[in-house]
Structure 1
Amino acid sequence: MANRLRGAAALAAAALLTLTAAACGGGGSDGGKVKLTWWHGQAAPYDKPLKQLAAEYTRTHPGVEIVPQLGTSNVDNMLQKVQAALAGGDAPDMAYMYGSWTASMARSHKVVDLAETVRDPAFGWNDFWPSERAAATVKGKVVGLPAVVDNLGVVYNKKLFDAAGVPYPKSDWTWQDFRETAKRLTDHGKNVYGTTYPVSGAEDTVWRYWPMLWQQGGQILDPAGKKAAFDTPQAVAALDLWRGMARDDKSVYLDQNGEKFLPLFQSGKVAMVVTGPFALLDIRAHHVDYGVTGLPGYNGDHQTISGPDYWVMFDNGSRRRKAVVDFATWLSRPEQDARWSLAVGNMPLRKATMGLPAYRTYVKDFPGAAEFVANLANAKQARPTTPVYSKFSEAVGNAITRSLIGGDPAAKTLGDAADRTDDLLAKDK
């Protein structure tokens, strides 16, 4: 009797352990199946094609189950969420991460280095845009595979241009042309501004400024990556141009939370916005008659900036690591790229996607998309892949905000930001 009771107790304990393990396992394997957690970071309706792709991969790969999850309600918080998960030993297998975070991610031994994966000729790494490859690579380590690629151009409201008798911008326009055009389009009696600038101080503020620096031959950091290089006279002049537009011409709507400028453009209260292809879906939905052109330039240089985002993978054991790299590789192929990127109005991640029928439908459905794709040729440089980028970017964002809102001279604000940057770089060992 006692032996039978002990046997029953042992069986009960074993069953309890099995149930506990099943309840605690967010990923791993179940009966030999590898279960992968994918924090895609896309809210509805952008998550629909990703969920469909996850379901298809699961169906066609019986040994793997892809579990798509939002991860965080605000992608801006994904880095913090992932870092907390890494510290707690419960990291997802793959997460959507901004390109400006790749240097921080590269320091983690849990991040899968994809250098060997992309070196395989069958992968087609050179088919991806140079800006994507550059921002993914940190000291030879390939931190992630592209999830989104974009760039900045100018989207303009044709109705407002026509009403003001202002010709549409040409591709060879200059920043002085941009300033004069914005001034002509401003009508405070109708509460219409020529253009706008987000001055939240976040990266959305900063990345609109870097192309003006690059166009004049400037750099963000010195060649060694140890000192700030963005407080040159040319860089100061570029920021003072925006300062003059905002404070003297009063042609710039200063969006202090970075969330109003696009709705104002859609409602006909702003004539031009410096934005990317990610805005076209909403603009189209509001039935705006719009055009797209590249950024204004200096001396014929119209460089733009690309802000690629990435699928970053984490090492949760050899089986899961291999499975998630295989899934991400599948996801990055042209056929899947078309079903994800083009379906939601994003640009193709790779050139081969442009040869598919879906691309022809995309450029027809999203006027201006072809101009943004062509503008990728002007994305020749990437933001520095240094772990302290996000911190000194905050200093630059505050400098821009102080100049445009407070009126402080650019030489002062950029000088302060450069000092802060030098301190951060000196402490980064």
Structure 2
Amino acid sequence: MRPLTRRGVLRAGAALGTSAAIAGSTAACGASRRKDELVFGFHGDTVSIGIFRQIVALYRRKNPGSRISYTYADPSGFFRRLPLMFRAGTAPDVMIVAESWVSGLSELNAYADLASFIRRDGVDEGQWVPGALNPARIGDQVLCLPLIVYPKGVTYNKTLLDKLGIGPPQDGWRERDFVEMATEATSGSGNSRIWGMRNGFADPLIYDVPTVHGGLPFDPVTRKMTATDDRMASSFRLMYDLVRTRRVMPAAGRAQYAAGFSSGLFAMDTFLGYSLTSLNQQIGDRFEWGVAPYPKEWRGTFQSNNVAIFEGSKRKEEAWHFASFMAADPDAQRLLGSLGTPALRTAVKGWQRSLSASDRALPWDHMIEGMGQQVVAFQGGLFNKVWDLLKQQVEAMEARGVPVDEVLRVLQERGTQILRA
């Protein structure tokens, strides 16, 4: 059985939607709560679980006498159980949460606000990579600390581009350069058609469609729709141009849309930092590939894994000590580097050196710096219904050719009705 990838987890999380708040799970846990111990809850495949166990062991070695146990499940099972555990008061004292889980479950008021701990201990927020605390900031609260981040860029099929006589993306490239390259690389028809770009904006989730130019369909603070603002409009026009006008990218929902970059049918795709290992495994030596930073105009969706503390914990001081250890201890961050890019700036260089020569050559510094401009796709409650509506409108635009202005008008009007409910 293939290990559960983050892409699969994201799809599962999207399918859960608001039902996650009431759904149960049969996923097994690794340990049960003991009254005299701090409980750490985490999730993932066998590799991830092994890494978190090592971190617990490391913490025990560095903090003799500390008492900490752990509980774990598969990611979708863990996410399903969290709301139930929050309400029952049985959630782990410390837990691993994806960036979407922070906003998605924040309305339950079950994450402890860490702002007072940060102020008290004089925590330097600059010790983490740009944007690392953005998912944590809900209103004036700080609900988690960053552990690993997932830089983004554009993957390109170097072998294919060389065959077509097209040079790779250059430093400082712009959106117009991307569009020209995608257009020039597209050829053929039917199942053997070579596409300039895979529709990675809408897969695994829909958030990268509006955030590509830094937009969101709503303002999460005022709870008002912003579907017709300039950033939303320009993002949707880019998608329309790629799919309907130039026909260099398949529409969401089409058969070609489901094929992966490793199929060799696409000159380019969106690169997600957590896909590095799977890309290496899937592509093998069938073709050479590289990664370029996003074009200058692009922003994208911020994605990360974080550590949070349960508001109902009776051991908050111990929980803070352990959570801040995971986020700021160089040895803990080195271990976490097996799962993604460490959020701690001083750990990034060592992590890069640990990669293979080809992976080390990727433009990590540029992609990491670009994370400071990325947008957190706020989720949870009625916002999930707006995202569902946005997905429907994107598919209507790409598959049926519904004009951009009409799609955004419908999104604005129906979204307003949803948020007023």
Same fold by TM-score greater than 0.5: yes
Contact 1:184–1:194, Cα closer than 8 Å, also in 2: yes
Going from structure 1 to structure 2, the CA distance change for 1:419 and 1:151 (only over 3 Å counts) comes to farther
Contact 1:195–1:270, Cα closer than 8 Å, also in 2: yes
Partner of 2:156: 156
Amino acid at match of 1:207: D
C-alpha separation between the residues in 1 aligned to 2:143 and 2:198? 34
Matches within 5 A, 1:210-289: 210-212=211-213, 214=214, 220-221=217-218, 225-232=222-229, 235-254=232-251, 256=253, 264-285=260-281, 286-287=283-284, 288-289=287-288
**C-alpha displacement at 1:158, in angstroms?**
0.4
Contact 2:220–2:378, Cα closer than 8 Å, also in 1: no
Aligned to 1:253, the other structure's residue is in SS state coil
Partner of 2:95: 95
Amino acid at match of 2:165: G
Amino acid at match of 1:326: H
C-alpha separation between the residues in 2 aligned to 1:84 and 1:128? 32
Higher mean C-alpha displacement, 146-155 vs 382-391: 382-391
**C-alpha displacement at 1:146, in angstroms?**
1.4
**C-alpha displacement at 1:316, in angstroms?**
4.5
Does residue 184 of the first structure (1) align with residue 184 of the second (2)?
yes
Contact 1:41–1:96, Cα closer than 8 Å, also in 2: yes
Matches within 5 A, 1:7-406: 26-29=32-35, 33-38=36-41, 40-60=42-62, 61-70=64-73, 72-74=74-76, 78-121=78-121, 123-188=123-188, 190-198=192-200, 204-212=205-213, 214=214, 220-221=217-218, 225-232=222-229, 235-254=232-251, 256=253, 264-285=260-281, 286-287=283-284, 288-297=287-296, 301-319=297-315, 321-344=316-339, 346-354=340-348, 357-362=350-355, 364=357, 366-367=359-360, 369=362, 371-378=363-370, 379-383=372-376, 385=378, 387=380, 388-406=382-400
**What is the number of equivalent residue pairs in this alignment?**
383
Aligned to 2:250, the other structure's residue is in SS state strand
**C-alpha displacement at 1:165, in angstroms?**
1.0
C-alpha separation between the residues in 2 aligned to 1:159 and 1:365? 15
C-alpha separation between the residues in 2 aligned to 1:139 and 1:245? 36
Amino acid at match of 1:362: L
Q: Which runs of 5+ in 1 are unaligned?
A: 1-24
Q: Which runs of 5+ in 2 are unaligned?
A: 1-30
**C-alpha displacement at 1:99, in angstroms?**
2.0
C-alpha separation between the residues in 2 aligned to 1:257 and 1:199? 14
TM-score scaled by length of structure 2: 0.79
CA deviations 1:131-179 (Å, max 9, x no partner) are 2212201122111111331233101110011011111112333333322
Aligned to 2:415, the other structure's residue is in SS state helix
TM-score scaled by length of structure 1: 0.78
Contact 1:231–1:415, Cα closer than 8 Å, also in 2: yes
What RMSD, in angstroms, separates the aligned Cα atoms of the two structures? 3.1
Going from structure 1 to structure 2, the CA distance change for 1:90 and 1:257 (only over 3 Å counts) comes to farther
Going from structure 1 to structure 2, the CA distance change for 1:358 and 1:198 (only over 3 Å counts) comes to closer
Amino acid at match of 2:292: T
C-alpha separation between the residues in 1 aligned to 2:273 and 2:313? 37
C-alpha separation between the residues in 1 aligned to 2:345 and 2:170? 26
Going from structure 1 to structure 2, the CA distance change for 1:389 and 1:146 (only over 3 Å counts) comes to farther
C-alpha separation between the residues in 1 aligned to 2:247 and 2:168? 21
Going from structure 1 to structure 2, the CA distance change for 1:43 and 1:385 (only over 3 Å counts) comes to same
Amino acid at match of 2:343: L
Contact 2:206–2:387, Cα closer than 8 Å, also in 1: no
Higher mean C-alpha displacement, 274-283 vs 244-253: 244-253
**C-alpha displacement at 1:53, in angstroms?**
1.3
Amino acid at match of 1:42: G
Higher mean C-alpha displacement, 225-234 vs 134-143: 225-234
C-alpha separation between the residues in 1 aligned to 2:306 and 2:257? 27
C-alpha separation between the residues in 2 aligned to 1:394 and 1:180? 31
Aligned to 1:274, the other structure's residue is in SS state strand
Residue identity (%): 17
**C-alpha displacement at 1:185, in angstroms?**
1.6
CA deviations 1:311-336 (Å, max 9, x no partner) are 222144423x3332221111112424
Contact 1:193–1:271, Cα closer than 8 Å, also in 2: yes
Amino acid at match of 2:345: K
Aligned to 1:204, the other structure's residue is in SS state coil
Amino acid at match of 1:331: M
C-alpha separation between the residues in 2 aligned to 1:420 and 1:112? 34
**C-alpha displacement at 1:122, in angstroms?**
5.4
Partner of 1:413: 407
Contact 1:221–1:227, Cα closer than 8 Å, also in 2: yes
